[in-house]
Structure 1
């Protein structure tokens, strides 16, 4: 029969050639162990050693495959190698492959560490990921992102419990906050209100990259936190998620009741997907453990918060996708209370009394984020591209201050426009997979700090940043990962002529007069580098080492407003280059994961702000920060999952600039930079699987005491000791059916009476405040 067919094919030439050489396509999707499409994975046809690399959606494709028997080979670090036999006979073959994790821990896919999708097992540094389940559980306790991150991110300083995250550093340095890669931080004039850039209900995942990095540009001296907003993951056209809740104090509950309403619609049909949501939350009076109202400065009591979010995605074809998103966030305090100064030296807390606050409500008047993103395949050498343009603007309003002559309220105004393009080209060898990531970032940032009444405190700073970059990664023998890269920062900051604002020392009453300052253009041109290696010796021992540099234009606005010279050229505004050296390892034993990391962070120039004579000034002394972090997670049983972490950080200034940090002139970095040791723990237990669940959290802030008392018998600002305190939170969740759930969250459930770390090291009488007392949050959620 075969001979007959062969003769017929020859007889109907020229189709005979086609019959002899019938070829087909082989394609499919590769998914990781958690079901997420796995990009940049090499798929091999064993018999002819042809290779294909999966795209951003995990899809691979072979064309012109002759009929026959083949074996597909797939390998990805952190997963067990997979092979699948296929038969190519007389039609195209669709073969999907699901990878299995090399251990019980899921191999999560991240993008923040290298600008492309990769697994966490390919990153030679410490990375923390908070998934949607963790975020959803914590929203049932608090919606303050500083509190949520405090418990789950080792290396992050204690939460302030306020609208300001000043002092909540990462490894003792400033960090860059992003939403879907869009910078939220304002490094030109750091107002420290960027951690609360959006409502947590629209966050799908948080990625935290620790240690100096310049991968996204200016500002990540200590690392970065990237909030990823929600995507539609469903085949239904219309889905609805409604959340209604109330909050209040468990101590003297009068006037403490607040409410929250969240509504989300989402859907996915064919090539189109969308998410749209709106959130409104109103808090009542917040109270400490004694039932006293917390003071309003930077407070979150009596606050109205709004969040509007929309995302629309469209798959143009199998190779190209476009997505547009917009997020608006506002959170402002309208209070009936005034602050009553405490007395730090005598241990008297700052309190509040009823009264009408001066000026306009403090908080985030508006934070807008708008982006248009394109992604897909170029069609050349399996190269994948990501390109986006974005706009971000923020208006942060601060509190009324007598430090301004005749009083006043300052605000930080910042607008960013940016465009980015990233290419990723894979290279495949027999025992080596490699890829090259390269691109260009361009951003314009215009930031200023005027007073609400129009007086100029910090003049408008117009920054343009252009930065080409190149990253390489080699996966050798499915064991060794080598990474390295370089980025060139070209920055110019234009400042017009201006006059400093007269200020008053609120303690002595002495007025510092105005000074005329000649403007100009500040220019920065520098190279920053990174390199790292990670070796997968076994599940039990996976060591890594890395070196990375971060580029940060120090708080230029702070230097400008405190100028005591008549020309900005005479102000030390030189950029800070931070070098971070890190070594660690990961060990996995069945359902147990342990990670230990140690690091040294050095900079020849510092950017430490200190409070002198009633004003903030910047100290440019060289700095060295050291520390280590330990974390462990375990799936104890099918019902119980638990984790713990420990953080220790220390830092010093090289006062005599001799390269050593042990001289008599050298001193420890103060409290707003270096946090006390922190220990955290959490446990998640399914009492009735699928029905009743309880989650417990513990956060312990330990003691740090590095400075002597001053001549008055007290401590200088930022140099006071921090005494320990211990906090416990919990959530009880009941799933009534597939659509309805009820959640009860308890914050500071044992009503610990404590001063926050920021209040303790700060020593300021107007902000020597207690932490929040026991509180509840009751939430009903309906999913349709």
Structure 2
């Protein structure tokens, strides 16, 4: 049995057609929603600004928008791409390697706590929290140094829920079935949340469980599995979240803890495809001969705020993140060591390129981050009209990656220490003209013990030591309100990041010479990214619009390059990305919004070291060009519908000689969803890939190999119910 496309489309669009009968209200609900957005302060700005006062492109995804997206998917990468199209389309896997914002990796945070791992990325920073715990998502587009390390493409800050002040409990359930209606494709989830307060404490907490079934493509074939980087199908995840707070007269103390786990069942093995002939990677029911890929992440923060310390607002945040990830295994030349040939400790699996007897092996990554963020915010200093935010950030990351079976160290234990004082100023030069400027000084030290690279990476003995880095980063922006509804702005921001240190340390080619040490490798040099942006916003009663042009450049960037074993190496090269972003929303009636989001970008890197960019960045390093369309309708009885389409444009990738080395055959997917009140709760129905489009995803087309040439998921239907009590 399958869903009939004509029936589904007719039902959805028949519901939408009723919007023609809606009557205009004196003040549209859409405009009220935008007014509510303006009341939100963007915590990631460090100055608690409203979105329209920041001289950068800012996207706020509020809870109402999240609820709309949850009807069809719980994948955060998909949701962000639907609403901020300069973000790469989701790979629909456990790994988010290659998912970029404006063509560069973003800094992902939970309540300001970094989730991205600066020393050994690993591609799992998008899998650290269940979406049910999120109140809103703040996205600041473009490189910046507001939170220090890692925001080369921008900042994505997940803001968790806050206590409501009322005693409340909410239970949610959802079930997703594929178009094939096969039982092993069934996915389901459940969450329970509570909120309340007493005289001394307020609290909010939740627990969730999600079970993902097998994914099917549009032809009802099992989507190929990624047993190396990590697979989200045939897996379970759990999340425990709690936030406790106490309000004093002028201050607040708050503790947040989130513990997230994701575990693949390990019951499916890949079947190699044939990319040149368009044959996708498949899957067969077979137990994996290694520990299945998994994630375990605990994020903790203790925050203290005081509204009046000498007339200034004080913010202090002590945080910790404990990250552990196991990656899937394989039969790799990279992991071979002659001392284990024929050993009972490993399982033999094949013959290598040089006739050696290979064995199954896999890696695991462990990272512990500690940090302290401090800031003081002073408004209208001495009546001058100047607002200031200043403070110092302290950060430490200790990371190691080893091999599970043999115990060899792949990435030696490395410690990154960072101290960063900063100052940010806002000044109204004249009425409606605001100057924003700031400076941040980064002092960082990387410490690495003596170690030896794996046999396959040269078996090199590398002398450890400490490398010190110092960078002064600047930003300046001007924002001018031409009218109360129209704003123009321009800005220059510098972002600071490190290349994936783990990939560099484990690659023997990073250390030439007879007696190499970490001081010999220029590849460890930090990345400084310059981002220039020009934009304009319009917010009227019947229309809102935003447009931005940006240019992002670095003289010594970090490009991911796929090697023969399917692992990524880091290439340090000059790169430049430029693009435009635009979104327009028309408020057709008090109940109807019709909108379009556009993201167009082009990026190149220097392939021959002549300090000139000449070769297109590939799909692991830049997002596709795309247009997102949507139509939402709210009925007077609290029912609502949304239809959205994602159009990914064709693209050719050319080398320095002008020859095409890769191509992307674009596609369009459509989602539709509906919600209605039922008894005291809310019932929702969502259809992802409504027309059951058959396609290879962006990553697979541009970076895939025969083992990673994956189809996208076919049509799925999700029914959910949320019950407050």
- How would you bin the TM-score normalised by the shorter chain? 0.7 to 0.9
How far apart, CA to CA, are the structure 1 residues paired with 2:132 and 2:36? 26
Aligned to 1:651: 603
Q: Which whole-Å deviations, capped at 9, do the CAs of 1:14-71 have from their partners, x for residues lacking one? A: xxxxxxxxxxxxxxxxxxxxxxxxxxxxxxxxxxxxxxxxxxxxxxxxxxxxxxxxxx
Aligned to 1:372: 302
* Residue 559 (structure 2) pairs with residue 608 (structure 1): yes
How far apart, CA to CA, are the structure 2 residues paired with 1:608 and 1:740? 48
Alpha-carbon distance change, 144 to 316 in structure 1, aligned in 2, over 3 angstroms = same
Aligned to 1:312: 244
How far apart, CA to CA, are the structure 1 residues paired with 2:445 and 2:247? 38
The partner residue of 2:378 within 425, 442, 455 is: 425
Q: CA deviation at 1:514?
A: 1.7
The partner residue of 1:619 within 571, 579, 599 is: 571
How far apart, CA to CA, are the structure 1 residues paired with 2:550 and 2:592? 32
* Residue 504 (structure 2) pairs with residue 559 (structure 1): yes
User: After the TM superposition, which residues 424-443 of structure 1 pair with which residues of structure 2 at under 5 Å, given as runs?
Assistant: 424-427=377-380, 433-443=385-395
* Residue 625 (structure 2) pairs with residue 677 (structure 1): yes
SS of the residue 2:651 aligns to: coil
Decide whether the 8 Å contact of 2:42 with 2:51 is kept in 1.
no
* Residue 223 (structure 2) pairs with residue 261 (structure 1): no
SS of the residue 1:755 aligns to: coil
Q: CA deviation at 1:700?
A: 1.3
Greater gyration radius: 1
The partner residue of 1:131 within 35, 57, 62 is: 62
How far apart, CA to CA, are the structure 1 residues paired with 2:34 and 2:187? 44
Aligned to 1:641: 593
Q: Which whole-Å deviations, capped at 9, do the CAs of 1:545-564 have from their partners, x for residues lacking one? A: 00000011111111111123
Decide whether the 8 Å contact of 2:234 with 2:265 is kept in 1.
yes
TM-score by length of 1: 0.81
TM-score by length of 2: 0.88
The partner residue of 1:229 within 134, 140, 160 is: 160
SS of the residue 1:758 aligns to: helix
Higher helix share: 2
How far apart, CA to CA, are the structure 2 residues paired with 1:613 and 1:292? 27
Decide whether the 8 Å contact of 1:103 with 1:590 is kept in 2.
no
* Residue 675 (structure 2) pairs with residue 733 (structure 1): yes
SS of the residue 1:761 aligns to: helix
Alpha-carbon distance change, 591 to 429 in structure 1, aligned in 2, over 3 angstroms = farther
Which moves more between the two structures, 642-651 or 220-229?
642-651
Aligned to 1:772: 713
* Residue 233 (structure 2) pairs with residue 283 (structure 1): no
Aligned to 1:9: none
Aligned to 1:569: 519
Instruction: Show structure 1 runs of 4+ deviating over 6 A.
Output: 100-105
* Residue 271 (structure 2) pairs with residue 348 (structure 1): no
Decide whether the 8 Å contact of 2:328 with 2:362 is kept in 1.
yes
* Residue 629 (structure 2) pairs with residue 699 (structure 1): no
Decide whether the 8 Å contact of 1:377 with 1:385 is kept in 2.
yes
Aligned to 1:412: 365
* Residue 403 (structure 2) pairs with residue 462 (structure 1): no
Q: CA deviation at 1:611?
A: 2.7
Aligned to 2:10: none
Alpha-carbon distance change, 534 to 675 in structure 1, aligned in 2, over 3 angstroms = same
Q: CA deviation at 1:624?
A: 1.0
Decide whether the 8 Å contact of 2:607 with 2:656 is kept in 1.
no
The partner residue of 1:446 within 398, 406, 413 is: 398
Aligned to 2:342: none
SS of the residue 2:707 aligns to: helix
The partner residue of 1:176 within 107, 111, 124 is: 107
Aligned to 2:486: 541
User: After the TM superposition, which residues 317-396 of structure 1 pair with which residues of structure 2 at under 5 Å, given as runs?
Assistant: 317=249, 319-364=250-295, 366-380=296-310, 382-396=311-325
Q: CA deviation at 1:270?
A: 5.2
Q: CA deviation at 1:166?
A: 1.3
Alpha-carbon distance change, 656 to 518 in structure 1, aligned in 2, over 3 angstroms = same
Alpha-carbon distance change, 708 to 475 in structure 1, aligned in 2, over 3 angstroms = closer
How far apart, CA to CA, are the structure 2 residues paired with 1:471 and 1:553? 23
SS of the residue 2:81 aligns to: helix
How far apart, CA to CA, are the structure 2 residues paired with 1:558 and 1:540? 48
Which runs of 5 or more structure 2 residues have no equivalent in the other structure? Answer: 1-30, 337-358
Q: CA deviation at 1:384?
A: 0.3
Aligned to 2:544: 593
SS of the residue 2:502 aligns to: helix
Q: Which whole-Å deviations, capped at 9, do the CAs of 1:328-373 have from their partners, x for residues lacking one? A: 1111110321100101111110000111112112131x11011111
SS of the residue 1:187 aligns to: coil
Aligned to 1:303: 235
Decide whether the 8 Å contact of 2:115 with 2:128 is kept in 1.
yes
Decide whether the 8 Å contact of 1:146 with 1:196 is kept in 2.
no
* Residue 246 (structure 2) pairs with residue 293 (structure 1): no
Alpha-carbon distance change, 149 to 544 in structure 1, aligned in 2, over 3 angstroms = same
Decide whether the 8 Å contact of 1:671 with 1:720 is kept in 2.
no
Alpha-carbon distance change, 387 to 247 in structure 1, aligned in 2, over 3 angstroms = same
Q: CA deviation at 1:296?
A: 2.3
Q: Which whole-Å deviations, capped at 9, do the CAs of 1:477-529 have from their partners, x for residues lacking one? A: 551121000001011111011111133xxxxxxxx542211111121111001
Aligned to 1:167: 98
The partner residue of 2:689 within 733, 737, 748 is: 748
Q: Which whole-Å deviations, capped at 9, do the CAs of 1:695-740 have from their partners, x for residues lacking one? A: 1121111111023799xx9x8xxx5211111111122111024x21
Q: Which whole-Å deviations, capped at 9, do the CAs of 1:657-696 have from their partners, x for residues lacking one? A: 55544xxxx212222112220111222112x323321111
The partner residue of 1:529 within 452, 458, 474 is: 474
SS of the residue 1:606 aligns to: coil
How far apart, CA to CA, are the structure 2 residues paired with 1:547 and 1:708? 30
Q: CA deviation at 1:643?
A: 2.0
Q: CA deviation at 1:540?
A: 4.5
The partner residue of 1:217 within 128, 133, 148 is: 148
User: After the TM superposition, which residues 96-107 of structure 1 pair with which residues of structure 2 at under 5 Å, given as runs?
Assistant: 106-107=37-38
Larger relative contact order (Cα-Cα within 8 Å, sequence gap ≥ 6): 2
Q: Which whole-Å deviations, capped at 9, do the CAs of 1:628-676 have from their partners, x for residues lacking one? A: 1111123221111232111011111234555544xxxx21222211222
How far apart, CA to CA, are the structure 2 residues paired with 1:129 and 1:434? 26
Decide whether the 8 Å contact of 2:93 with 2:233 is kept in 1.
no
Alpha-carbon distance change, 576 to 136 in structure 1, aligned in 2, over 3 angstroms = same
SS of the residue 1:621 aligns to: coil
Decide whether the 8 Å contact of 1:176 with 1:224 is kept in 2.
yes
Q: CA deviation at 1:110?
A: 2.9
How well do the aligned residues superpose, as a CA RMSD in angstroms?
2.1
How far apart, CA to CA, are the structure 1 residues paired with 2:638 and 2:568? 53
Alpha-carbon distance change, 657 to 137 in structure 1, aligned in 2, over 3 angstroms = same
The partner residue of 1:690 within 637, 647, 655 is: 637
